[in-house]
Structures are given as structure tokens and as C-alpha cells.
Amino acid sequence: MTKALFLDSVFQDRIWGGTKLRDFFGYTIPSETTGEYWAISAHPHGPSTVKNDAYKGKTLIELWEQEPALFGNPKEAVFPLLTKILDANTDLSVQVHPDDAYAKEHENGELGKTECWYIIDCEPGAELVYGHNATSKEQLIEWTRDGKWSELLRKVAIKPGDFFYVPSGTIHALCTGTLVLETQQSSDTTYRVYDYDRVDDHGNKRELHLGKAIDVTTVPHHDAVLDIKTETTGALTKTTFVDSDFFAVYKWDINGKADFTATAPYTLVSVLDGEATLTIDGDTTPIKKADHFLLPNTCKNWTINGKVSCIVSTPAK
């Protein structure tokens, strides 16, 4: 198997979702409040399905379990990464995620959740919540109890092309008018801190998880230190956003013909804009905006020819 695995994936309806997944990417969305597209996923809450060639119809979960050689015979019990696109039509809840140790103990063995965001698009003046101002756990408890959200929460202005690394323990939230590609550990564990007192169609507020949230929040907050690097070689401009204990994330801007050699057991690719061809072992396939595919371990070299921008991730070394 020396072909890329192209994937069909699952949409998630969210109280804060909208229509940008249709309007920006052309997806056929299930509702006017579609918040998430789990573009490359082997999580049981929304697994991707292969749509081409020998493995057509197989889920990524099934491939991970039945065809480990495609992934370099990994040691992990579950596929470790999850790529999403999120449409924050309105503010997401203010939330925090546990690390691996806490999630294993309290969430039935689920992975923790360190994640990162690439801002695809946002409204002028858009911002997000990133971190908090409490200097101690006692102050964090007091401010959440008393609803002192303006004192507690740090807001950061954003623009298209920005990148944020969000380690477990970081209080955070996407805000209104933001379209994001998220790379994260394969986890669906979220502890809500504050949800703006919103109610669902039945008049019910969504559950908060303040006890667990306070347990896992890093105090005091520290912004993640990034060493973002950009290098141009021929037709490829490669930006390295992060290379962490959980994943590496890159951006490929290609204008012409670019040759690649695999540097990881497998590679996840999301095409954000443009169109091109992907050639592996003499077999050529068109790729375009809104495509998501996985280059398995059997793909050691490939060529992309055209004009595209992609967000790319690989597992931790």
C-alpha cells in the first residue's frame, strides 16, 4: 500500500456552531449549527472512514488495530492524534483539559488533551481566551465561585495565520467569528469552567465541571514558548509551528513542484487552500482545498505539484 488514505469524517453539532464549514470549505453540513469536523480521527466518538482503494470503508480505528504496519507498528494502544476544523460562530465555553495521568485515572483511561490552533480565518477584532490571571489555586477558586470572569480570564487578539499551543491545564476558549484547524491528542475530555449562562433548546444550562477543572488547571498560567521557524526550499515554504512531546505541526505552502521524504512513521495532511497533484511511486492523485489524507508508513517519498497550503502533523518522535 503506497497510496495516501483519503478520509471521510464526522460532523459534530454544537450550540456555538454555524455554517462556515459549508461556506468556506464547501462541505455538506448536517445543520446550521455545525461546530466541528473531525477531519482525521480514530476516536470512537467520531471515527474517519477511508474512501479510496484497498481499505475503502474501513475506519481509522480498524486500520490502527488490524494493519499496524501502515503506522510503523506503533506501541500506542490507540491512534494518538486528532485533526479537527472548528467553526466558532459564537463563543465556546471557557474550558480546560487534563493531562494523561489525570485522564487515565478519572476518565476511564482516556488520553489527556494537549492541543493547538491554526487560525484559518476570523472576523476583524476577533480574540480568544488563553490563560488566566489567578496567582494561586485559592484565588482561582474564589474568582470562579464569585463569577469574576473579567478579572480571571486573559483575552488575546488574533488574526488569520496565528498559531497557539494549548498544553493540558491551560484555561482557554475560542470566541465568536473564528475558524480554526485544531491538532490535538485523541481525546474528547473537556472540563467546562464557564458557559456564559447559555441554555439549550429545552432551557437547560450545560453542565460545568469546576471541581475537575480546578484540579487540573495550571496555576499560575504560563504562555507556551514557541520557536516558530520558516524555511523555503525551491517551491516549498515550510513553517514549523511546534515539535512537542505529543505531536509536531507544520504548514506547507507549495507553489510549483516539491519533493518530500518521510521523517515520521506517518503524516496527516489537511489542505486548506488551492489544488495540486500528489504523486507516490508514479501514481498521481489530485488534491484540493478541504481534502484530508494520511500518508502511511509505506509512503517513503512523495511529490506535490501545484499551488496549495496545507497544515501537516506527525506523531511525537
pLDDT in tens, 154-209: 999 999 999 999 999 999 999 999 999 999 999 999 999 999 988 888 888 889 99
Q: What is the pTM of this model?
A: 0.96
3-state secondary structure of 63: helix
Rounded to an integer, the average pLDDT of 134-148 is 97
* The pLDDT value given to residue 202: 86
The radius of gyration of the chain from alpha carbons, rounded to an integer in Å, stands at 20
Catalytic residue flag (residue 22) = no
Element (H, E) at 25: none
Average pLDDT, the chain: 97
From CA 294, how far away is CA 3, in angstroms rounded?
Answer: 9
- State the distance between the two ends of the chain, measured CA to CA, in whole angstroms: 23
Is the per-residue pLDDT at 2 higher than 90? no
From CA 273, how far away is CA 142, in angstroms rounded?
Answer: 45
Same fold yes or no, 5-216 and 229-315:
yes
97 is in an annotated binding site: yes
Say which of 22, 154, 192, 206 is annotated catalytic.
192
Is the per-residue pLDDT at 1 higher than 90? no
Q: What are the domain boundaries of the chain?
A: 5-216, 229-315
- Look at phi and psi of residue 152 and say left if phi exceeds 0, alpha if psi is from -120 to 50, else beta: alpha
In this structure, are strands 34-40 and 10-18 parallel, antiparallel, or unpaired?
antiparallel
The string of pLDDT tens digits covering residues 205-226 is 889 999 999 999 999 999 999 9
Grid cell at residue 275 = 489544488
172 is in an annotated binding site: yes
CATH 3.40.50.300 fits 229-315, yes or no: no
For 152, other C-beta atoms within 10 Å of its C-beta total: 22
Extended strands (E) in the chain: 5-8, 10-18, 34-40, 49-50, 81-88, 94-96, 115-122, 127-132, 153-157, 163-166, 172-174, 178-185, 191-194, 229-233, 236-243, 247-261, 267-280, 283-288, 292-295, 301-315
Rounded to an integer, the average pLDDT of 135-143 is 97
Q: Topology of domain 5-216, per CATH?
A: Jelly Rolls (2.60.120)
